Amino acid sequence: MKELKIFTGTAHPELAKKIADSVGVPLGECEIKRFSDGEIWVKFAENIRGNDVFIVQPTHPPADHLLELLLMIDAARRASAYRITAVIPYFGYARQDRKDQPRVAISARLVADLISTAGTDRVLTMDLHASQIQGFFNIPVDHLYAARVFTDLFRKANIQRPCIVSPDLGNIKIARAYAKRLNAELAIVDKRRAAHNVAEAMNILGDVKDRNVLIIDDIVDTAGTIQAAITGLRAAGANSVQVACTHGVLSGVACERLTEAKVDAMYVSDTLPLRDPVNPPNWLHVASVAGEFAEAILRIHNDASISSMFD
């Protein structure tokens, strides 16, 4: 059996350390430096020839995180690693997955091509914004879901009269899965988007009156969609409104919007670091997905099934 080694860039070393601890191996040593002009320099500080190498690196902004990942993959390939798996908890640029207007880039496909071309053998990621992005890769992609972590958390909370809400029509499938697991009602927010990062809630499809609502989403960025959804749900008579989101980007005025909307609680995973880890809002809670990634890494290393994790 080839030796398993886990490395990380500078994007989210805390998550990488948790994953390595869960797997039961030390986090590998990799030097990442910058020249005075900002260029990135990468070197593995230990022998990885013939090893099964896993590189943990979410690709949230700045773009240096993506470039670090590409350089680490290239360095591992040139160091004769047996297999290189890019572990990308948050796959950045996933929202640009199609040509929805003239003269725009399909960035998700470009990033997939860059990762493949750098020398990656396979990709391990979580809750892609669009599942079809897996098809942008010409290498195997293992797609994990945060649903198991969140549903376990909400089962223990024993929420009374729950209702799962999808904040838009595109998220219905995952919301339905949550509703089934939690034996809850299902509702949908019919949303129209006026521009990038600008959303307006139009109609609530389903009965949320006197219900304890749980909004399910994969990414919350500026929180415009969620703010509009919370406002609409409260107007429709919801008793309480909580949010569960895999990737809590929470950029710009997101936290101010959620505070203004009086969200009861928001749960995010640690696929990317909090923007303000020192002073997070009191309604914000983090659930770790390190265990999910650790189990998947061990299954990949042992050539076992990933899909059986979700049976």
Q: Rounded distance, CA 240 to CA 264, Å?
A: 7
Same domain? For 282 and 305 the reply is no
| pLDDT of amino acid 18 | 98
Q: Are residues 240 and 252 in the same domain?
A: yes
3-state secondary structure of 57: coil
CA distance 243 to 241: 7
pLDDT of residue 264: 96
Structure-token match 């020249």, residue found = 35
Residue 122 neighbours by CB distance under 10 Å: 17
11 and 124 belong to one structural domain: yes
Identify which of 14, 6, 8 has the alpha carbon closest to the alpha carbon of residue 274: 14
Q: What is the CATH number of the domain that holds 90?
A: 3.40.50.2020
Residue 97 and residue 21 share a domain:
yes
Same domain, 136 and 58: yes
pLDDT value, residue 60: 95
> Mean pLDDT by 10-residue block, N- to C-terminus, for the chain (311 residues)?
95 98 98 96 98 98 97 98 98 91 94 97 95 94 95 92 89 90 92 59 84 95 91 93 96 94 96 87 96 98 92 68
Count of CB atoms situated within 10 Å of the CB of 196: 10
212 and 166 assigned to the same domain: yes
Residue 198, pLDDT score: 58
Catalytic residue among 2, 5, 43, 191: 191
Are residues 101 and 180 located together in one domain of the fold? no
The answer on 258 and 208 residing in a single domain is: yes
Name the residue range of residue 14's domain.
Answer: 4-144+291-310
- Which residues on adjacent β-strands are paired with residue 86? 55, 123
* pLDDT score recorded for residue 8: 98
Same domain assignment for residues 151 and 239:
yes
Quick one: pLDDT at residue 274?
Answer: 92
Predicted local distance difference test score (pLDDT) of residue 167:
87
In terms of domains, do 15 and 105 share one? yes
- For residue 194, the model assigns a pLDDT of 57
**Alpha carbon separation from 169 to 133, 176, 192, 203 (Å, rounded):** 18, 11, 10, 11
CA dihedral of 170, 109, 72, 9, whole degrees rounded to 10:
-30
The question of whether 191 is a catalytic residue gets the answer yes
Contacts of 262 by beta carbon, 8 Å cutoff, 6+ apart = 230, 234
Q: How many domains does the chain have?
A: 2
pLDDT recorded at residue 193: 58
> Do 188 and 118 belong to one domain?
no
CB 70 within 8 A of CB 120: no
Mark whether 249 and 121 lie in a shared domain.
no
